[in-house]
A = this chain, B = another copy of it.
Amino acid sequence: MSDTRERVVRAGIVGANGYIGGELCRILLGHPHVELVAPVSRSLAGKRVDGVHPNLRGLTDLTFTAPDDAPDCDVLFLATPHRETMAMVSRWAGRAGVLIDLSADFRLRDPAVYRRYYGAEHTAPELLAEFVTGLPERHRKELVGADRISVPGCMATAAILALYPLAAAGLIAGRVSVDGRIGSSGSGSGAGPMNLHAERSGAMRVFAPLGHRHEAEVAQATGLDVTMGATGVEAVRGAQVVCRAPLATEVREPELRRVYRECYGDEPFVRIVAQRRGLYRLPEPKILSGSNFCDVGFALDAERGEVVAVGALDNLVKGAAGNAVQCLNIRQGWPERLGIEFPGLHPL
């Protein structure tokens, strides 16, 4: 139960008009310790928030705030595009003590890696060290009291959570291939031929056969040699990774299960899904829409020395907005599930 004496935190969202911004609005409006005071949007300033996020009708009468009109906040979520974020982070730092960035700009520790994957020079490399990686399952302690948090990419989160137990246990030797699949909301709310319904519907679009940007995050977080591709499949929400890795040593299924349980047995938002039978025996995004769970699972070919790790999540929730709020909860010392308890729907 929440402590009702808890001081309410005043929150703002920069880029509140986008899909991640919308999920932040939804979650924060329902969060008992947070007041959403500044849904910032340059393009929609003055317009009703529920105009572009129609699921919020009846929940709020807020209008979008112009950047210059945004009041000071306790915490600011930056749901802005990469490159744009690093350009404006210093300005926003003056408006709020806590910055939680959902862009890619402060995820990679090494500016050279950023340049390679994002094709642009990092313009604020001196700030990189200030950011704690917003992945509670790996950085929970550092998140307590952190003032700069950088939330990982959606498919990166799934892949890191799926692979980390194996990597940490030293079970992987050699290159890991990560095959990511993602719904259309992953490319944002901007209209273009890429996301035209008639083109995107029913797609199996291999938009990144190799070298997907999240590859760098997965490699950084796991220390593995990672090659990653990604395909847009028919879905609005949802990200899934299928990771194929050569085993370093002989291992049996119960040992793998133990390795995952030791990592995630107490985690509120990671479930181990690796069953022998059933329609949902491995992680699947479809039942995670709206939920902050990341499901992880595995399968083993002991004979050939290969393991497959599977991860799934809602790219806008555990892959973005929900994970960011989980980080905030930890930072504040609040119960970790606060505001992000929704378990997902079945069927959907």
Q: Footprint of B on A, CB under 8 Å?
A: 1, 4, 19, 22, 26, 30, 51, 53-59, 175, 177, 179, 181, 183-185, 189, 191-206, 209-211, 227, 229, 231, 233-238, 240, 242, 244, 246, 271, 273, 278-280, 282-291, 293, 295, 298-299, 301, 304, 306, 308, 310, 312, 341-348
CB distance B204 to A346 under 8 Å? no
Chain B residues with CB under 8 Å of A304's CB are 227
**Total copies of this chain within the assembly:** 4
CB distance A289 to B348 under 8 Å? yes
Chain B residues with CB under 8 Å of A192's CB are 191
A229 partner, pick from B200, B244, B273, B279, beta carbons under 8 A: B244
Chain B residues with CB under 8 Å of A189's CB are 196, 198, 347
A237 partner, pick from B238, B299, B348, beta carbons under 8 A: B348
CB distance A196 to B198 under 8 Å? no
CB distance B284 to A203 under 8 Å? yes
* 18 pairs, A vs B, C-beta closer than 8 Å: A54-B279, A54-B280, A55-B345, A56-B346, A177-B177, A181-B181, A189-B196, A191-B193, A197-B201, A198-B347, A202-B286, A202-B348, A204-B235, A206-B283, A209-B282, A210-B244, A231-B240, A233-B233
A58 partner, pick from B194, B198, B271, beta carbons under 8 A: B271
Min CB–CB distance A121 → chain B (angstroms): 20
When A and B form their complex, which 10 residue pairs have the shortest distance between CB atoms, in order from nearest? A209-B299, A234-B234, A198-B347, A197-B200, A54-B280, A55-B346, A184-B197, A209-B308, A55-B344, A206-B282
Chain B residues with CB under 8 Å of A341's CB are 30
A242 partner, pick from B231, B236, B308, beta carbons under 8 A: B231
- Report how far A191 CA is from B347 CA in the complex, Å: 14
CB distance B210 to A308 under 8 Å? yes
- Report how far A37 CA is from B282 CA in the complex, Å: 28
Min CB–CB distance A128 → chain B (angstroms): 25
- Report how far A192 CA is from B342 CA in the complex, Å: 29
Chain B residues with CB under 8 Å of A343's CB are 26, 30, 55-56, 58-59
CB distance B59 to A290 under 8 Å? no
Q: Of residues A198, A203, A238, A285, which shows the largest number of chain B Cβ atoms within 10 Å of its Cβ? A: A198
Chain B residues with CB under 8 Å of A26's CB are 343, 345
A291 partner, pick from B55, B287, B289, beta carbons under 8 A: B55
Kindly report which residue of chain B lies nearest to residue A344, judged by CB atoms: B55
